Amino acid sequence: MKDTIYKYKTPVKIALIADLHDRPFGWITDSLKKHKPEIICIAGDLVHRAVPQPDKLVLQQTGYVLPFLKACAQIAPTFMSMGNHEWRLCDDDIAVMAETGAAVLENSWCSYNGLIIGGLSSAGFTAYQSFREGKAERYPDWSYGDRPDTTEPNTAWLNEYCEQQGYKILLSHHPEYRDRYLKQLPLDLILSGHAHGGQIRLFGRGVFAPGQGLLPKYTAGVHGNMVISKGLANTGGMIPRLFNPREVVYIEPL
């Protein structure tokens, strides 16, 4: 567990959080209180594989998601986008999230002190939202898929977003989305996670990341206008996390 600090051409000090996966967070909020960011940006995957139960919201089954969001919002203005593990969340879940004081950005943006902060939802989240339209159930059965050949993120709103006047920060859980959808857009800063630092890091490089495969291009650090967090949890399926400490990222003005 460590704090990572990058210098970048940003007008405010930003804390980048990603991939909590419903884990204890005391060390994270201690770090946030110590470093005093002006805003906190959460680039997805606070949830971890929640399975709906009858008459119970997904977020009512998590242990740490809502307390973590509330704790962050009490430290600094907090903004969150949707990752692939948030794919089951329904409108009621999102409303409960918003009650914590955090701004939940679902393919949308908001303005804050000259910043235009947007949230690009994971493709799987968007696909499931479309699937459930017109169905009575909160969580209808669906075979989840979040591969580029089966689902795509909703990028239609980004043109209007990019026309807004101000410093544009886009929360995009998937770093691999940058080259596919975002590289040509006039974005000042993209904040991502998802890759978990490549799970195993050897010679400064990650070994595997979902959506990128072996020896992925984007796992951590600063890449042009994108900053990637290695994440806050050890989850990686069958691949352990080695030589790859969890981190809270701080982006400070030059």
pLDDT at res. 34? 98
Q: Which residues pair with 21 in a beta bridge?
A: none
Among 1.10.3720, 1.10.10, 3.60.21, 1.10.3470, name the CATH number for the domain at 2-253.
3.60.21
d(C-alpha 28, C-alpha 33), whole Å: 9
Tokens of 51: 């399975």
Q: Classify the C-alpha dihedral 128-131-134-139 as positive or negative.
A: negative
Burial of 49 (0-12, 13-18, 19+ CB in 10 A): exposed
Q: Count other C-beta atoms under 10 Å from residue 187's C-beta.
A: 22
Mean pLDDT per block of 10 residues along the chain (254 residues) reads 97 98 96 98 93 86 96 98 94 96 98 98 92 90 67 94 98 97 97 96 93 95 98 81 96 97
Tokens 């990058």 locate to 6
pLDDT at res. 50? 78
**What does the domain layout of the chain look like in residue ranges?**
2-253
pLDDT at res. 149? 58
Tokens of 230: 């290695």
| pTM listed for this prediction | 0.96
pLDDT at res. 41? 98
